[in-house]
Structure 1
Amino acid sequence: MPLIPERVRRWPRPWRVALFSLLALYALYLLAGNVFLNTPLFDAVTNRKPEKFTLETGPSLTLMPGHAFVWNIRIRGQANHTVYIFRADRASAWISLVHLFKREVRIPSIDATGVESEIERVEKAIPPPPRGDRGWNIRLDAIHSDSIRSGRFGKLLIVGQGHGTVGFQKQTKGGPSELFDSTAGFEQATISYDGMTLLDEAHIASRFHYPRHYRDEAPGLRKLGITFAELQMDGRSQAINIDTSGPHVKVGSMPAEARLNATLTMDRGLLQPGSRLVWRVPVHAGVHAPDRGLLSLQLDVAQDIRIQARLPRDPDTGSELDADLRVSGRRIPFEAPAELLPRLSGQVKGAWRFDSLNWIADLFVRKPWFRLDGGGLLQGDLKIVDGALAPGSRVDVPKVVAVSEVAGVRMQGEASAVGRIVEDAPPQAELQVAIPQFRAAPVDAPKTVLFDGKAMALTLRGDARLQQLRDGMRARLRFRDARVPDLTAYNRYVGGNNVRLLGGTGLLSGDVELDTSGRVGQGRADLRGRGARMQVAGMALSGDAQVQARLQRADLDNRQFDLGGSTVTLRNIQVDGAGDANWWGEVALRSGHIDAAAPYEVTAQADLRLRDAGPVLGVFAQRSDYPRWVLGLLDSGEVQATGQLRWRRDHLALDDLKAENDRLSLRARLDMAKAGKRGDLYVRWGVFGAGIELDGEQRSWHLKGAREWYDGRPRILPASPPQP
């Protein structure tokens, strides 16, 4: 049988040449086209910027110019923070070859089967190119599939029998893009969020498009503000399971016979009148998730957006909910959802028995310095006007355990809490926590009792506008005459061996103000010690003490505290167990600073009033070591003094100690560390003067030129700046 039919051989020669030429070209195309699609040449052309776009394919076949069949397709692309991935078992596509000469890749149709898609946000961004009009135009008129298996958008996953047609065009190198009128839908779909099933047996139908625009005109979520979208959804709702029996709350779902029905239309960021959503979802919540009833949620759109929620009263737990809220206008601020709050008005009434009420504290504070432990019945009636809680709103928590952790001290006790709105400009939200009995201990030593007492009050107060609720919140913590059973518990804060508390009891009162992060703004603490025994610089002291700490400013994050204005008063003091017990002294801090970060350090400048200078002289020498004229000054009367102090762990330094009265003039500096103590003392009475150089247990006396000797000695601390 001849290879060329007789009929063709009768054609004129030019025709036969043309036919054979066409056949040769077609054979060449088949060879070149299929070699190109199935070798690394194709990857080299399509994946020139793999960080932005990659196309992976399995076997491919082209039989006609501009048309191809491709199997096992995977496309991955990234624009800014958004990553999109598409997979398909097979696709066939036509490409317009003519448009390639116009710098345009136009694909009139793509038909795909077995499609899966994923869209998610990643931290590492690929910055988009600046606006431009020089790139190639990519136009896909219709990507169609009748076998979409799944679509994932972040943690939201839709699996079912899907179908859709999508078309778009995009100019590369910063050019404009447009989404053509597109549709997508699912039958018998299952919708889940982060692994928890929300709906099953669902029907979904959607339509969407947005106009031609440059990226900088509507980047990111702002693109939703220029999008038209319709959504119809009907499905069987799963019950929500919230189990609080374990150490962590477990949220899940279980089959139920409730439904969600929605018909929503949005045009350029505005929900359209007639949009409606009704969701009836069974709720199981609490320890082992008991049944709480059927929660009905309804959204209706007219000129405003109305949201209603109903939960019938449960006679066993007392739980119920009745909410009717209205959002003025129909615009949805996708970029900043909190902007909905100033547009919100309505009323929420209800009661709910919670196994944990700590979330209430989360509404008021940013860091976990305050919490409510345990559960109870929460009853509330909240009135909201233009995004602010209005007077008449109230929340009651009859019984709970309140825990506060401030500056390393944990205070806790059974409490009741009442929240209300106080009329002001603007109105103030106030949560009052009453703690009839409380106990305080170091956070790292919970069995050590620092103090315990009655009638602690914690008040949190701030702007009642929902958007600003936590921003300007202030807290005030107050208690009075708490019992301090053993002053030695405070040695952990004193530190070192130069100052040690040896015993005694006391009463402590406190009043501090904090911000929402638990940083102390200002406050005071008054400690009145009875029968206090302590050791200071090797001397044993006993008597009564009162510390009135005034906190001007605190930064708990950096552990910095200003204590200017604080005072220490000593009464009925006996030194080294000898003599009468009627010595007294007063210390007032002109400035004081605690740096509690490593290394721990206290610096202060103080004014002192002392009954006499006996204890100061006793630090440098025994009474019997002083000249007789000095002994006559030990009881010389009240002394006014000033000094500079630096206190580190196991290291106490004093400088510029100056004491004066009608008979006595005294100058001293002292450095006490683990290795021992050293220092200089100058004391004068009239024309008599004496100096002592102290080095451990060694003392050197300087009687001639004592003042010049003292002034020539090196300082222990840097000179303090002059006070304003």
Structure 2
Amino acid sequence: MRVDANHLAATFLDYSVAGSGRLEAFVEGDTAKPEARLALNLPRLSLGRRDGTAEYLSGRHFRLETTLPRFTLDPESIPVEAITTRIELPIAEVADISAYSDYLPLGAGLELLGGNASLTADLQLEGLHVQGDMTLRAFNSDLRVGEQRLRGDLSLDTRLREGDLETLTFDAAGTRLRLDNVMHEDAEGRRVQGWWAQLDLERGRLTWQQPLNLSARFGLAMRDSGLLANLFLSRAGERPRLARLLTVPMISGHADVDLSDNRLHVSDLRLIGRNLEILADLRLIDDIARGEMYARFGALRIGLALDEEGRNLQLFRPRRWYQSIEEARSEMDSRQPLPSDWQQEIEEPPAAPPR
């Protein structure tokens, strides 16, 4: 059976696609127990939120194919675990990436300000389990990180595995974010061109919601440490001099990133470069940077604490000062209260599985 229509629509995850195209139904396989296959092809389409509050992109050659293990006039009789779906969007154009800013926590110091992009997506659903890959390429895009504005090319290769459709939570290990040909201002207000950075998500979980929730370990590489130094020293009176000292080429390292609600927390950050080592814990909440940093550059060693009122420079035994803060934070985390039902969970063994 085939239906050609000017308005066809489908929903997946939190999105809705609509366009003119073709819906086909096939009955295949064993004549005694045939399976059913539905295929939706949209040569041109628009994609937005399922509730219709936002439209994100236009695309071409969208295909959605669903396979049922048996043909039936009552599809609800088929358990959802037995249904498989493949979604392909090979060509899509994003007119303005600022539409995706709702996915970034308000107040976390991150914002997509503008620019167009291309996007591709390939998702496979088996029952309530989903995996897939999405690629975003944006050129001459405007971004904000803390108080700094950047313009450059953005590349995001998203790898989603072990997804749960009920919670929209995924294993995002293997995802890569790269910035290239970036222009930003240094601590003295001069334009810096050709800056780049690469973030590789080594392990972590992503919840696909607005805003996104991410808890992950990243590997980092940057052309130089200038942007990071400016982020930490944005309210320091000695910013130009210190930022110049702490800007060295070709740095790399690791960090834990927690993105949720209205905050960005970068913890256990360690970057190394030419005669430079940086240790830091940075929290961006309500667009205000708070945190602590230790930096060693050759014979120079400094510590820096940021709060709502500005900065506090530590020159006396800064490494020990930073370690004491880390130890206090770790002890505080270990003293977090247990859930109210912790004793019941220990005293009541799990029920034996049915025989």
Interval of TM-score (by shorter of Structure 1 and Structure 2): 0.7 to 0.9
Q: Secondary structure at the match of 1:712?
A: helix
1:437 to 35, 44, 52: 44
Q: Secondary structure at the match of 1:552?
A: strand
Q: Tell me the CA shift for residue 584 of structure 1.
A: 0.3
CA contact (8 A) 1:496 1:649 kept: yes
2:75 paired with 1:452: no
1:416/1:614 CA distance change after superposition, 3 Å: same
Once the two structures are superposed, the pairs formed by residues 547-562 of structure 1 within 5 Å of their partners are: 547-562=156-171
2:145 paired with 1:536: yes
2:260 to 644, 648, 651: 648
2:85 paired with 1:475: yes
Aligned to 2:338: none
Q: Secondary structure at the match of 2:229?
A: helix
1:600/1:523 CA distance change after superposition, 3 Å: closer
Aligned to 1:176: none
Deviations 1:148-176 (A, max 9, x none): xxxxxxxxxxxxxxxxxxxxxxxxxxxxx
2:119 paired with 1:508: yes
Query: Which amino acid in 2 is paired with 1:704?
Result: F
1:585/1:675 CA distance change after superposition, 3 Å: closer
Once the two structures are superposed, the pairs formed by residues 487-526 of structure 1 within 5 Å of their partners are: 487-497=97-107, 498-516=109-127, 519=128, 521-526=130-135
1:400/1:464 CA distance change after superposition, 3 Å: farther
Deviations 1:265-302 (A, max 9, x none): xxxxxxxxxxxxxxxxxxxxxxxxxxxxxxxxxxxxxx
1:520/1:475 CA distance change after superposition, 3 Å: same
Q: Secondary structure at the match of 2:116?
A: strand
- d(CA) in 2 for partners of 1:396, 1:470: 24
Q: Tell me the CA shift for residue 711 of structure 1.
A: 0.8
CA contact (8 A) 1:411 1:439 kept: yes
Query: Which amino acid in 2 is paired with 1:441?
Result: G
- d(CA) in 2 for partners of 1:627, 1:488: 31
Q: Secondary structure at the match of 1:711?
A: helix
2:178 paired with 1:572: no
1:463 to 69, 88, 104: 69
Q: Tell me the CA shift for residue 597 of structure 1.
A: 7.2
Once the two structures are superposed, the pairs formed by residues 604-683 of structure 1 within 5 Å of their partners are: 604-622=216-234, 625=238, 631-634=244-247, 636-674=248-286, 676-683=288-295
Q: Secondary structure at the match of 2:55?
A: coil
Once the two structures are superposed, the pairs formed by residues 243-258 of structure 1 within 5 Å of their partners are: none
2:316 paired with 1:704: yes
Once the two structures are superposed, the pairs formed by residues 32-51 of structure 1 within 5 Å of their partners are: none
CA contact (8 A) 1:549 1:567 kept: yes
Q: Secondary structure at the match of 1:404?
A: strand
- The structure whose Rg is larger is 1
- d(CA) in 2 for partners of 1:627, 1:437: 51
Deviations 1:611-670 (A, max 9, x none): 111111111115982585862441x22111100111122211110011012421111111
2:139 paired with 1:527: no
Give the gaps of 5 or more residues in structure 2: 335-355
Q: Tell me the CA shift for residue 565 of structure 1.
A: 1.5
1:411/1:492 CA distance change after superposition, 3 Å: same
- d(CA) in 1 for partners of 2:39, 2:144: 42
Aligned to 2:352: none
- d(CA) in 2 for partners of 1:489, 1:627: 34
1:520/1:403 CA distance change after superposition, 3 Å: farther
Q: Tell me the CA shift for residue 432 of structure 1.
A: 2.1
1:593 to 186, 202, 205: 205
Query: Which amino acid in 2 is paired with 1:489?
Result: A
Q: Secondary structure at the match of 1:558?
A: coil
Give the count of matched residue pairs.
Answer: 320
Q: Secondary structure at the match of 1:709?
A: helix
- d(CA) in 2 for partners of 1:579, 1:472: 57
Q: Secondary structure at the match of 2:100?
A: helix
- d(CA) in 2 for partners of 1:554, 1:468: 21
Aligned to 1:603: 215
2:193 to 571, 581, 591: 581
Deviations 1:324-343 (A, max 9, x none): xxxxxxxxxxxxxxxxxxxx
CA contact (8 A) 1:462 1:470 kept: no
- d(CA) in 2 for partners of 1:645, 1:471: 33
Query: Which amino acid in 1 is paired with 2:291?
Result: G
Query: Which amino acid in 2 is paired with 1:510?
Result: A
1:715/1:573 CA distance change after superposition, 3 Å: farther
CA contact (8 A) 2:46 2:58 kept: yes
1:619/1:399 CA distance change after superposition, 3 Å: same
2:169 paired with 1:563: no
Q: Tell me the CA shift for residue 604 of structure 1.
A: 1.2
- d(CA) in 2 for partners of 1:633, 1:473: 55
Q: Secondary structure at the match of 1:693?
A: strand
1:444/1:468 CA distance change after superposition, 3 Å: closer
Deviations 1:378-412 (A, max 9, x none): xxxxxxxxxxxxxxxxx322336332222322111
Which 10-residue stretch deviates more, 619-628 or 576-585? 619-628
Q: Secondary structure at the match of 1:433?
A: strand
- d(CA) in 1 for partners of 2:307, 2:161: 38
CA contact (8 A) 1:633 1:663 kept: no
Query: Which amino acid in 2 is paired with 1:488?
Result: S
1:530/1:629 CA distance change after superposition, 3 Å: closer
Give the gaps of 5 or more residues in structure 1: 1-394, 720-724
1:691/1:471 CA distance change after superposition, 3 Å: closer
- d(CA) in 2 for partners of 1:648, 1:471: 31
- d(CA) in 2 for partners of 1:572, 1:599: 28
Q: Tell me the CA shift for residue 599 of structure 1.
A: 9.4
Deviations 1:43-87 (A, max 9, x none): xxxxxxxxxxxxxxxxxxxxxxxxxxxxxxxxxxxxxxxxxxxxx
1:662/1:423 CA distance change after superposition, 3 Å: farther
Query: Which amino acid in 2 is paired with 1:500?
Result: E
Q: Secondary structure at the match of 2:106?
A: coil
Aligned to 1:334: none
Q: Tell me the CA shift for residue 440 of structure 1.
A: 0.8
Aligned to 1:406: 12
How many percent identity over aligned positions? 24
Q: Tell me the CA shift for residue 592 of structure 1.
A: 2.5
Q: Tell me the CA shift for residue 558 of structure 1.
A: 2.7
Deviations 1:170-202 (A, max 9, x none): xxxxxxxxxxxxxxxxxxxxxxxxxxxxxxxxx
Aligned to 1:420: 26
CA contact (8 A) 2:204 2:214 kept: yes
- d(CA) in 1 for partners of 2:246, 2:282: 21
